[in-house]
Every structure is written in C-alpha cells, then in structure tokens.
Structure 1
Amino acid sequence: MSHCIFCKIISGDAPGEIFYQDDEVTVFKDIKPASNFHFLAVPKEHILADKGGDVDDVRLGFHLPPFNSIAHLHLHVISPASGMSTLSRLIFKPNTWWFSSVIVRILF
C-alpha cells in the first residue's frame, strides 16, 4: 500500500531503525519512543482484511501475568469477535485483570 508509512519503512522507502526482519515481520524502533525500548512489530502484509477477517469486529489483546500460559509475548487477534463462545468471551474479556485489550483504529 503506497500510502502506508509502515510499508514504506519495511521496503526501505522511508527511514526506520530496523532491529529484526524476516519473511513475515519487521521490528523497528518507534519514531517517538516512550522509553529506552519502544519497538513496533509489524507484519509485512496487511493481513487481517486480506485474509477475510472483519476489521470492524475484531478483538486484540494480551494476557497479563500471571494469567498468561506461555511466557512469550504474543498478541491475540480474534475476528469476528461476535462469533466467540461464552467461555471465550470471558477469557478474552476486554480490560480485565487477565486480558488487556488493544484499541485499534484502522484507516484506509
């Protein structure tokens, strides 16, 4: 996407301090870091809408310690959020002690 600044950083058409890169993801320093270590991990493709996910019905978030079952940072991307079971709605309930939501505004 020619108007996407992240795509431009990934392709080298815009400046960015890249710390890691593979075939699927690029990690670079935030342009206005909030602390010493402030990075953005960005998929190289616009994956959610391109794969059929509903960008208007999505839940994004992280389980917080001690409620995370895997000690490796990972983001949950759930779409459609309205299709979750009752149990999943509890496990992934936004802004609880065990699940911190990420609010997203997708611009096209």
Structure 2
Amino acid sequence: MACLPEGMSKRKRLYTAGLAGLGLIILVSIYKCGFRSASISGPEDCFFCDFANHRPSSRGPNPNLEVETEEYVIFKDKFPAARHHYLAIPKEHLESFSVLNRSHLGLVQRMELGMKELFKSKNVDPNEAIIGFHIPPFISVKHLHLHGIYPASDMNVLNKINFFSSFWFKKSEDAIQDLESREL
C-alpha cells in the first residue's frame, strides 16, 4: 500500500475530524431540541410569552428587559455565548422562523433594527455583531427569537459553529431576503 504524502494525510485527518465534530454537534443539537421542546407546546405554557407579556413564570423571575416595544422585547440571554448576547422575541407567539411568511417581514426588520440600536447604545458596532435565527429543528425554545451576539472572539468553538451562517442558523439579512420571497 502506498503512503500518502504527509500534507495530504494531515489534511485528510483534519477533514475527517471536522466532519466528525460537526456530526456530533448536530446530534447534540437535535437531542437538546427534543428534550427542551417537549414541555413547550403553545403560548399558554411558553416562558418566552411570559417574559414578553410580563406574566409570572414557573421558571423563575423574568429577565430584565433591555428594550420593549408594542411588538417585541429584547433581553440578555440566560446562557450567553459572548459578553453581549441578547434575544429579541415577539410578544405574539410564533413558533419559529419556519412559520413566518411575507406578512412578518416588517416585524423581523423591526426586531433586527431594535437589536442593532441596542448594540449601538452599548458602544458596539452592529455590523461586527452576529445577528440571526436558528432554523428548526435546531431551536432550543419553540418561540421565535433573534440572537444578537458580540464579540465573536469571546465565543468557544462550539458556539462559533452553532452561530455560523448555515442551514441551522440564518443571519438576519438572509432571513429578511428569504421572507421577501415567501408567499403571504
């Protein structure tokens, strides 16, 4: 059997390790989604709906709201991936990005703008932030939520993969473009 050149062998090992790692992350994400979402079925027992609408939650105290409008709220993520990690959630219960149509375009644009304005108020350039949605089944809570994260350099390897623009995470500008092409 012929030996591969050293560079080719190293590249093959890195590629294999990368694919194995990605596979593991996908399996863990699917497991987490199934585990968490089993207890959330609709707006009446959705703790994000509780946060957004100032209702007491059985999951402890509601987070401090950084921004509140008639349509959405923004608050600090309970499990931040970086120094600045916020979630924008609509007050209306919408399960995920997948259920949205073109009529939701304005809401998504306003949530994105609100997230960018919050970053500016924190002296963060919003163009340097990661802003986007996870796509089912890679969601941790069945209530639409827009992530805003900065700086990416604070993120560990798993979080960098988790919030990498891909089939499981859609950056806000791509999400808006997608909604523009959806039917009403």
Q: Which bracket does the TM-score occupy, shorter chain normalised?
A: 0.5 to 0.7
**Distance 1:82-1:26 versus aligned 2 partners, 3 A rule:** farther
Q: Does 1:78 align with 2:149?
A: yes
Q: Does 1:64 align with 2:135?
A: yes
Map of 1:24 onto structure 2? 68
How many pairs are equivalent? Answer: 74
Q: Note the 1:30-49 alignment, pairs <5 A.
A: 35-40=102-107, 41-42=110-111, 43=114, 46-49=117-120
Q: Does 1:50 align with 2:121?
A: yes
Percent of pairs with identical residues: 34
Map of 1:103 onto structure 2? 173
**Distance 1:79-1:37 versus aligned 2 partners, 3 A rule:** closer
C-alpha root-mean-square deviation of aligned residues, in Å? 2.7
Residue segments in structure 2 that go unaligned for 5+ positions in a row: 1-66, 72-100, 175-184
> CA-to-partner distance for each residue in 1:19-46, whole Å, 9 max, x for gaps?
xxxx71243xxxxxx8445432444x93
Q: Residue 167 of structure 2 aligns to a residue in which SS?
A: coil
Higher RCO, 1 or 2 (CA under 8 Å, sep at least 6)? 2
Residue segments in structure 1 that go unaligned for 5+ positions in a row: 1-22, 28-33
**Distance 1:97-1:26 versus aligned 2 partners, 3 A rule:** same
Per the normalisation by structure 1, the TM-score is 0.55
Amino acid in structure 2 at the alignment position of 1:69: S
Map of 2:163 onto structure 1? 92
- 2:118, 2:159 → 1: CA distance? 23
**Distance 1:64-1:25 versus aligned 2 partners, 3 A rule:** same
> CA-to-partner distance for each residue in 1:40-86, whole Å, 9 max, x for gaps?
2444x931111233323210111111110100000000011233211
- When Rg is computed on C-alpha atoms for both structures, the one with the higher figure is 2
Higher strand share: 1
- 2:126, 2:138 → 1: CA distance? 27
Per the normalisation by structure 2, the TM-score is 0.34
**Distance 1:98-1:51 versus aligned 2 partners, 3 A rule:** same
Q: Which runs of 4+ in 1 moved over 4 A?
A: none
